[in-house]
Structure 1
Amino acid sequence: MILCNGKFTKHAKGKKTDVKDSRWIQKLHSLGLLTSSFLPDETTETLRTYCRQRINLIHQSSAASRKMQKYLKFLNFRLDVVVKDVCGLTGLRIIEDICKGNLDPASLAEHRHYNCRKSKEEISKALHGNNREDFLFGLMQEFESYQFFQKQIKACDRKIQKFVNTALKKTPKKLKLKTNDKPYKRLNKNAVDIKNFNQVAYQYFNGVDLLAIEGVSHATILSLMSEIGPDGFSKFKTSKEFVSWLRLAPNNKISGGKVLSSRIPKGSNRLKIALRQAANAIGNLKDTDLSDFFRRIAYRKGRQAAVSATARKLGVIIWTMITKKVPYKPSREYLFLDQKRKLGIVNRIQKQITKFELSKENFEFVTG
């Protein structure tokens, strides 16, 4: 018994009936012409439910954020001009104070966070509103909705963390695995709130450090954990089958030795979207193997084709790392921002030593 996609069971010629369809499907299955769909294990399926619910809540939260920005414009509060993110620390404090009834621009500007680039005077100039009651009521409603969705997202994060920790405790060997810290991996406000997620992901994939790949973020790892799981990769015999299932491999149509089409098949899933987002982030990096590959493709075929090609390459790398238990080893190591700063200090010291021709003979060591 297999679960099969309906497009592989095209009915026979002639009048269509349920009996004829059943006989035709039975004949195809007996000849081995039907391929089964991917079905995750029970643990991955449960985690998938939690993560998809979390993504839906993020979409609803972003919709409430856009509506808040719309009502702020109607009220002539141009908070979006002076603040980079309306739902950041400064923006939320100002919106909360507006909903409480404070409409004084000077007192609202006092909520400025010290990291904000604009001064209090510039913020207060942008907060001279018309104070219409109907728009204030709409803003208050959307702000309450945004706060509610944020609470729901945090509840999902706690549930995901509890479920993952329970799954890891079933295999005590995984809990002993440790990897190096990655402070250079930035966290945005929509990242999953799991304590020490770097170690958790390393243990969940049985000692495979996927975060070592440049461009791969916490959201990418969470999508891999929830959409396919560590055991799901073994269901694909080769990396080509895996990227084909993701609909990232070209669908070559050849007739008479001539390639008629090599487009990527239509259709998308959440894992494909996550890999494409990671590929887009790789396109913004410099001096890495994957970013050089991205730029070569983008120069010839454009950025959209480069995103798809890099996402396919990421899929092959991830499948190889998990199935064959090999670490990620690019031909040249990528230096992140904090590593570049340390290297710059060392190079600067070495240049100073060379410039002033310093050596051990120039120093007198006094021991006491």
Structure 2
Amino acid sequence: MERKMKLGMDVVNFNAGGIDVGSRSHFVAVGQELEDVKEFGVYAEDLTALCQWLLECSVTTVAMESTGDYWQNLYTELIGFGFEVVLANGKFTKNAKGKKTDVKDCRWIQKLHTLGLLTGSFLPDLATEQLRTYCRQRGNWIELASSATHKMQKFLKLLNFRLDVVVKDVCGLTGMRIIEDICKGNLDPYELAEHRHYNCRKPKEEIARALHGNNREDYLFGLQQELQNYRFCQRKIKACDKEIERTIKRYIIANPETKKLRTTEKPHKRINKNAPDIKNMNQLAFRYFDGVDLFAIEGLSHASILSIMSEIGPEGFKKFHSAKHFTSWLRLAPNNKISGGKVLSNRVPKGSNRMKIALRQAANAIGNLKDTHLSDFFRRIAFRRGRHSAVSATARKLAVIIWNMVTKKVPYDPPRPYLFLDQKRKMGLVKRIKKQIDKFELKPEELGFCKHLKTST
């Protein structure tokens, strides 16, 4: 007679609940029976009633999916009531059997969380989250300003004002002066050319030749409106910069021991027009990261540092146990798939976030530098695998360097320059010769160096 075996799993989280988050209602499960499931609305009083019901059911920990933006208010309410909340990625809760319903989903989430099979997503602290809101809003305005710039270029081409040919940046000093004068009604090409900035490469004569247009009123009307949109976006970007600077200084004031920290100036760091308008960004970032100078890394710009400050913050690095975990979260580490002892795939997984984009942009800038440790690393990878792979590899290396600097409080100390094989052999030969000279206590006269110097003079 065959004996039946039952394989059970240990309960990890006692008194656990599961929530299926929705746009109009939330389904909450505190057990696997139908009477253990209850539906709540999304208003403030409904969220309070949900938390009170969980307290009545003796629930101490709750798991839910990160569905859109619907989870945020509920998450804040649960934290306020003292629950331990696990915000899980939706891809880890998809494998439920049978027809998909909200009731089955919340019960499945509750079951997985009870057995300890769900892991929480990364969430920054409150100060970093507030800074992230301002920085992301600033990024939205930059995208809108870029769209207005493209539309201005389009109307200029329709007017046959080929400003894009004679000016490198249409929204630069020369370009904006000319566009503003055109919108005021001045269409004389020679008077418009007088707005040339002294840094502009093209002479006034060539600029005037490019500004003979057809002067259509409908295109001029469209250009005027896009110029107004561009100015409006620029005002909003400056307002975001003020809030960002105020938030950073408020964080530094809350930590008075960091006020005395100072670092060296970085005049070599170039500031473009989209860089945040924040005074002493170098010193503020040094104090924000408690004496860690991220500006010392070549390739990191003001926008890159601001992305690191707003997306993860100084406390967020501590949530990753190692640099490998950090690079894996950024989706910059290879995703090794092994079966039967054979590597089936080691490609970098798909997916992106704002910090990964910032590191890849910094890596691409490093590829254009010369005679630095990271640029040499970039060129070695690009020679073997191509520039696209070099950008990913350098971005991962940057992430490892930044994690070690912030968590271990170590300065950026790049190793010696990369040596090729013939250079290594030459240095090894010189070392061996020096050892032999020291071993036998040889003098220059015995080696014939003095005779050689006399004959050469």
TM over 0.5: yes
- The 10-residue stretch of structure 1 (286-295 or 93-102) with the greater mean CA deviation from structure 2: 286-295
The reply on whether 1:201 has 2:255 as its aligned counterpart is: no
Give structure 2 stretches of 5+ with no counterpart.
1-84, 419-457
Partner of 2:184: 100
Contact 1:288 1:332 in 2 (8 A): no
Alignment partners' CA distance in 1, 2:371 and 2:118: 45
Alignment partners' CA distance in 1, 2:94 and 2:233: 44
Percent same amino acid at aligned positions? 74
Q: Select which of 239, 248, 252 maps to 1:168.
A: 252
Structure of higher CA gyration radius:
2
Partner of 1:22: 106
Q: Select which of 255, 261, 268 maps to 2:339.
A: 255
| 1:122-146 CA distance string (max 9 Å, x none) | 1111110111101111111101110
The reply on whether 1:189 has 2:273 as its aligned counterpart is: yes
Residue 333 to residue 168, structure 1, CA distance change in 2 (3 Å): farther
Amino acid corresponding to residue 214 of structure 2 in structure 1: N
The reply on whether 1:286 has 2:336 as its aligned counterpart is: no
Shift of 1:159: 1.1
The reply on whether 1:74 has 2:167 as its aligned counterpart is: no
Q: For residues 64-143 of structure 1, what are the structure 2 equivalents within 5 Å?
A: 64-143=148-227
SS at match of 1:26: helix
Q: Select which of 357, 381, 389 maps to 1:305.
A: 389
Partner of 1:265: 349
Shift of 1:31: 2.9
| 1:41-81 CA distance string (max 9 Å, x none) | 11011111100000000000011001101111111111111
Amino acid corresponding to residue 394 of structure 2 in structure 1: T
Amino acid corresponding to residue 28 of structure 1 in structure 2: L
Q: For residues 217-366 of structure 1, what are the structure 2 equivalents within 5 Å?
A: 217-332=301-416
For CA contacts below 8 A with separation 6 or more, give which structure has more relative contact order.
1
Alignment partners' CA distance in 1, 2:356 and 2:180: 38
Shift of 1:8: 0.8
Question: When the two structures are superposed, what TM-score results if normalisation uses the length of structure 2?
Answer: 0.72
Q: Select which of 97, 119, 144 maps to 1:35.
A: 119
Partner of 1:155: 239
Following TM superposition, the consecutive aligned residue runs of length 4 or more in structure 1 with deviations greater than 6 angstroms are none
Shift of 1:314: 0.5
Alignment partners' CA distance in 1, 2:361 and 2:140: 18
Contact 1:11 1:24 in 2 (8 A): no
Alignment partners' CA distance in 2, 1:311 and 1:292: 14
Contact 1:83 1:91 in 2 (8 A): yes
CA RMSD of aligned residues (A): 1.3
SS at match of 1:127: coil
Shift of 1:18: 4.0
Partner of 1:2: 86
Aligned length: 334
- The 10-residue stretch of structure 1 (93-102 or 168-177) with the greater mean CA deviation from structure 2: 168-177
Residue 19 to residue 147, structure 1, CA distance change in 2 (3 Å): closer
Alignment partners' CA distance in 1, 2:212 and 2:147: 25
Partner of 2:41: none
SS at match of 2:88: coil
Contact 1:11 1:21 in 2 (8 A): no
| 1:76-129 CA distance string (max 9 Å, x none) | 111111111000000000000000000001100110111111111111111101
More strand by share: 2
| 1:160-203 CA distance string (max 9 Å, x none) | 11111111111111111000000000000000000010000000
Residue 135 to residue 20, structure 1, CA distance change in 2 (3 Å): closer
Residue 101 to residue 33, structure 1, CA distance change in 2 (3 Å): same
